[in-house]
Amino acid sequence: MQAMEMKYLRKVKGITRMHRVRNDLIWEDIGIEPLQDFIEKRQLSWWGHLNRMNHERPARKVWEAKVTGKRRRGRPVTTWDKQMGKIIGERGQTWERARKMTANKKEWSKFVYEGRIGYNQHYYDFLQPPKMSIILEASIHHRYGLSSTIKTIIDYW
């Protein structure tokens, strides 16, 4: 999905893979969020709504229903609950804590749309890679047998 999205965005910007421009720079330049992040936010929003829903509502009954019978051979099916557990875990929460959090709409909304875990905690930074430094060392040999060394530290994100 991300490959299709980036192919489209690169065409919009007129940038090819040969330009060697990073995906996050293209998203930042266009001013949109990645499609995967948008979908995850919408899924989390609906999950919170389902958890607050009355148990008698049809959508809640379908969500809580269990399929009986034997499943076919092959790779196990990724269920919606497993996918939601994965997304919640990537955001630094447990399933139980997230379920309790859904009762408070404001707190849940902050968790979903701003990436906040609670009222008093800072933003959870998903896309920021760790800061890295490179130390470049170059030796210069002079004409008269003298040599000197230059060290430079380059910080980048």
Query: Is pLDDT larger for residue 146 or for residue 74?
Result: 74
Q: Which of 5-14, 35-44, 81-90, 132-141 has the lowest mean pLDDT?
A: 132-141
Q: Check whether 10 has a pLDDT greater than 50.
A: yes
Q: In three state form, how does the secondary structure of 60-94 look? A: HHHHHCCCCCCCCCCCCCCCHHHHHHHHHHHCCCC
pLDDT for position 131: 52
Mean predicted lDDT score pLDDT of the chain = 77
**pLDDT single digits (tens) 46-90:** 999 999 999 899 988 888 888 888 888 998 888 888 999 999 999
